[in-house]
Amino acid sequence: MRWILFFGALIGPSICCQEKFFGDQVFRINVRNEDEIHKLIQLVNSDNFTLNFWKPPSTFGCPVDIQVPSFSLQPVKSFLKSQGLEYSVTTEDLQIYLEMDSMAADFPDFVSQVKIGHSFENRPLYVLKFSTGTGEPRPAIWLNAGIHSREWISQATGIWMARKIVSDYKKDPAVTSILEIMDIFLLPVANPDGYVYTQTKNRFWRKTRSRNPGSKCIGVDPNRNWNSSFAGEGASDNPCSEVYHGPHANSEVEVKSVVDFIQEHGNFKCFIDLHSYSQLLMYPYGYTVDKAPDAEELDKVAGRAAKALASLLGTKYRVGPSSTILYPVSGSSIDWAYDNGIKYAFTFELRDTGRYGFLLPANQIISTAEETWLSLKIIMEHVRHHLY
């Protein structure tokens, strides 16, 4: 039941309203007199905003902390501004942080949070690291989710997989064997600014939220911004386009943070990017129809992974290079990974094939994650047994 509530929260208020925290923020408000305290109490007691005191008012000059739901952010900000109340945001994206904190606290021996940077709007980029080793960087797997903000099933699946890793360690021989010699890094929300925007403003927002000088249009497609055939086919130089590649490769701090971390680490063997929708399992290249040097091996691994995925509920995935089975894509994450020596680079386009599209119902979250996990294990086991 806990997981149903949690993933209902991630997938959004239009589907499940219980225990929804994602997009919520904590405001710290400076109160200077009795009148301001009275105004705050009235605000919190209002039924319209569903606010909650974390640190209630006590004496003048002491800050007050209030949890503000995502749907109340704008009206509460407007109220505070109109009343001359000074505030700062101390906690952003509450749900994801709570879940990541919980895993790190519950499994301190092999789960930790690594901060790799900030988003354009200054949200921290936290990665979950699963490791049983110490010392020099071990061979590693990178799991990326939510690079396109409207693809909510990818973020939900990423967090579900994190819980699966910690729950199956020392129980599932495959997971245990992988973690004996490899580390796993998971970035559950690769585009946090866009994700919050889909929760609060525009459900179908895809890009980052960076500003484009000389244009009224906001954002860059972060999966066209990697330094791999940058600005080639399948990307646009129009800032208003959904596939705008940005002014230059790695212009988006969300992309550059991942690039810098992976390059500094220097021992990643696998890169997997979770997207939706279409039910595809793809490998390089996206920017050319020419075969990648390792195409034969990658195709076999992807085929086995797709078969494992289908074994649970019969969900069928097509397998192949992204340029062939999807469309031409330049500046993509997996092409960058492959071109930079990470041989096992794959993109999942999760459920479904178009009936619901980006609005996949909450009752399909767990089944999507469960079947995807089976295919992910096939890939990770292959990598574990074919280190290079």
The DSSP string of 163-210 is: HHHHHHTTTSHHHHHHHHH-EEEEES-S-HHHHHHHHHT-TT--S---
* Rounded distance between C-alpha atoms, residue 125 and residue 197, angstroms: 16
Quote the pLDDT of residue 347. Answer: 98
Query: What does the block give as tokens for 190?
Result: 């690769």
Q: Is 203 exposed, middle or buried (0-12, 13-18, 19+ CB in 10 A)?
A: middle
Cα-Cα-Cα-Cα dihedral sign, residues 93, 99, 105, 108: negative
How far CA 65 is from CA of 73, 74, 94, 274, 376, in Å, comes to 14, 17, 14, 35, 41
- CA 34 vs. chain centroid, Å, equals 43
Quote the pLDDT of residue 244. Answer: 98
The DSSP symbol for 291 reads: P
pLDDT in tens, the chain (388 residues): 344 344 444 444 433 333 445 567 788 898 888 888 888 888 888 888 888 888 788 766 778 888 888 788 888 988 898 988 888 876 655 678 788 998 999 999 999 999 999 999 989 999 999 999 988 899 999 999 999 999 999 999 999 999 999 999 999 999 999 999 999 999 999 999 999 888 778 989 999 999 999 999 999 999 999 999 999 999 999 999 999 999 999 999 999 999 999 999 999 999 999 999 999 999 999 999 999 999 999 999 999 999 999 999 999 999 999 999 999 999 999 999 999 999 999 999 999 999 999 999 989 999 999 999 999 999 999 999 999 9
Q: Is 88 exposed, middle or buried (0-12, 13-18, 19+ CB in 10 A)?
A: exposed
Contact (Cβ atoms closer than 8 angstroms) between residue 223 and residue 151: no
Contact (Cβ atoms closer than 8 angstroms) between residue 110 and residue 179: yes
Q: Is 358 exposed, middle or buried (0-12, 13-18, 19+ CB in 10 A)?
A: middle
Quote the pLDDT of residue 205. Answer: 96
* Rounded distance between C-alpha atoms, residue 138 and residue 143, angstroms: 16
Q: Is 255 exposed, middle or buried (0-12, 13-18, 19+ CB in 10 A)?
A: buried
Quote the pLDDT of residue 93. Answer: 57
* Rounded distance between C-alpha atoms, residue 181 and residue 218, angstroms: 43
Q: How much is the pTM? A: 0.82
Considering the candidates 92, 254, 349, 381, report the single residue annotated as catalytic.
349
Quote the pLDDT of residue 9. Answer: 47
* Rounded distance between C-alpha atoms, residue 36 and residue 30, angstroms: 9
Assess whether 92 carries a catalytic annotation: no
